[in-house]
Amino acid sequence: MTSGLWELVARGVWTTVQLLVLSALLGAAVSFVVGIARTHQSRTVRFFAGLYTTVFRGTSALIMIFWIYFVLPLSFGWQLVPMWAGTLALGLTYGAYGSEIVRGAIAAVDPAQREGGIALSFTPWQRMRLILLPQAVPEMIPPFSNLLVELLKGTALVSLMGMGDLAFSGNLVRLALQESAEIYTYVLLIYFVIAFLLTRLMRGLEKKLKAGVGKEPRAGVEATRQPEVTGVGGVS
């Protein structure tokens, strides 16, 4: 490929990374807000949080992109640029999946921890912030890592509304060179490299968070061996 075509692909990679970061930030915010709301004491709050999750999990991300980009201008008279339309659609859609990860991780915390917070007269928000979330967040990292990779692959959907992401740029290069096998192999490898880096980053974050709450021993530190009781009053 010529330098101009490689530059086109590089711009597509940059657009994909921007879209991934923005939609991941929005999706993470939605995940925690809705996921925590799913555990709220108020039945009304739980209902609306559950309704949001049901609607966006049951809706195609592609159709949501088309709806936000093409239908909203007709209904409300204002047009989002492709980047923000894609960010909004992907963030809201994948945030619905992430909310179930948050809800499940919070529910999996030992009930004794919650009861301990009640015994200390903590408010519900204090129990969530000081007790539940610090223990639940490390358990969220592996499923969030998978969801982030799925989001990366989902960014290719924005190419269908003419946004110059990696998939769109790769298709333009394919049309220019008439070399489908070579171009799409390059595109596949670029997606794989980005996904691999994301996975390694999330794995490192998981280890750091689990070490911070004592769920995994630090490197080079051995667990203290407890003495074995051999009988009444006898210790070996």
Report the C-alpha gap between 230 and 236 in whole angstroms: 6
> 2-37: per-residue pLDDT in tens?
777 888 899 999 999 999 999 999 999 999 999 999
Classify burial at 187, counting beta carbons within 10 Å of its beta carbon; exposed 0-12, middle 13-18, buried 19 or more.
buried
Closest residue by Cα to residue 139 from 94, 107, 113:
107
Per DSSP, the three-state class of 21 is helix
Separation of CA 159 from chain center? 21
pLDDT at 102 over 70: yes
% of the chain exceeding 90 in pLDDT: 53
Most confident option among 96-100, 180-184, 209-213, 227-231 = 96-100
- Which residue type sits at 85? A
Q: Which one has a higher pLDDT value, 122 or 214?
A: 122
Global pTM exceeds 0.75: yes
pLDDT at 110 over 70: yes
pLDDT at 222 over 80: no
| Inter-residue long-range contacts of 201-210, CB under 8 Å, 24+ positions, other chains counted | 202/141, 202/142, 202/144, 202/145, 202/148, 203/145, 205/141, 206/138, 206/141, 206/142, 206/145, 209/137, 209/138, 209/141, 210/138
The pLDDT of residue 212 is: 66
